[in-house]
Amino acid sequence: MKYELQPDCLAVVVPGNLVSTSVEAFRLQFDGILEDPKVRKMAPKTMELDLRQARQMDSAGLNLLVTLVKLGRERGFKLRALVANPTLQRTLQFTRMDRILDVVPVAEPAELAEPA
């Protein structure tokens, strides 16, 4: 996972679906990012997850988001998710995740958009 420290923001690009078969690998990577001394020193106020490459998220992926939200409450950062896929947007809306994190609808990357 690529990440970048911006003013008051830790931006992380999630390169695929957050589902049961991938979530453990992502969990380890998030752990590594959040333990990065530079990240700890900067103590960003926001963690922005770029989920534009994700088509779907199952309960395991939702639980990872919940873990990050909880961690953010402990460390003092808010979670923001950039979401492009309509199914993913609806998943976050229907499971009320949009009440505990900031869901920002964005345009789908051109290379991922399905032809009409």
Partner 1 sequence: MPGSSPNQLSPRRGRVLGVEDDAISRRALELHLQRSGFDAVMASDAAQARTQFTLSGSSRFDCVVTDFRMPGETGAELLTWLRTQDATLSSIMLTAKGERQIVLDSLRAGACDFIEKPYRQMELASAIDGAIKCTRDQRWLSQTQAEALAVGQTQRRLLAASSGTLTNGVVFCHYPKHGAGGDFFTVFPLDQDRLLVLVADVSGHDLQAAFISAYFQGITRGMLEKQTKITAILNFFNCYLIHEWNHWPVGLKQAPTSIAVCALVLDRRAGEITVFNSGAPAPRLMGGELDRCARALELGGHPLGWFEDSKPEVNQLLLPLDGGIILWTDGLEDHAHTLGVSDWSLAYRLLTLRADNEATSRLEEAPDDILVVRLPVGLDRQVAVHTLLDECYPGSGWPLIDDFQARWERSLKLALPAAAPQRLDEICLCLREACLNALRHGCQQQPDQSARVVIAYEVGPNRLRVLIDDPGSGHSFDWQTHEQRALEELIAEHRGLSLINAFADSVYSERNGARLTLEFALTPGSGLTYPPSI
Q: Would you count residue 90 as binding partner 1 (CB under 8 A)?
A: yes
Is the CB of residue 12 less than 8 Å from the CB of residue 49? yes
Is the CB of residue 22 less than 8 Å from the CB of residue 16? yes
Is the CB of residue 48 less than 8 Å from the CB of residue 11? yes
Buried/exposed code over 77-103 (b: 16+ C-beta within 10 A; e: otherwise): bbbbbbbbbeebbebbeeeebeebbeb
User: The tokens 């690998």 sit on which residue?
Assistant: 25
Q: How far is the CB of 60 from partner 1 (least distance, A)?
A: 8
Q: Would you count residue 63 as binding partner 1 (CB under 8 A)?
A: yes
The region of 2-10, 40-48, 74-82, 96-104 touching partner 1 under the rule CB under 8 A is 96-104
> Is 31 or 36 the residue whose CB approaches partner 1 more closely?
31
Q: Would you count residue 59 as binding partner 1 (CB under 8 A)?
A: yes
Is the CB of residue 90 less than 8 Å from the CB of residue 57? no
Per CB under 8 A, the list member of 87, 102, 109, 113 interacting with partner 1 is 87
Q: Would you count residue 19 as binding partner 1 (CB under 8 A)?
A: yes
Residues that bind partner 1 (CB under 8 A): 19-21, 55-56, 58-59, 62-63, 66-67, 69-70, 86-87, 90-91, 93-96, 99-100, 114
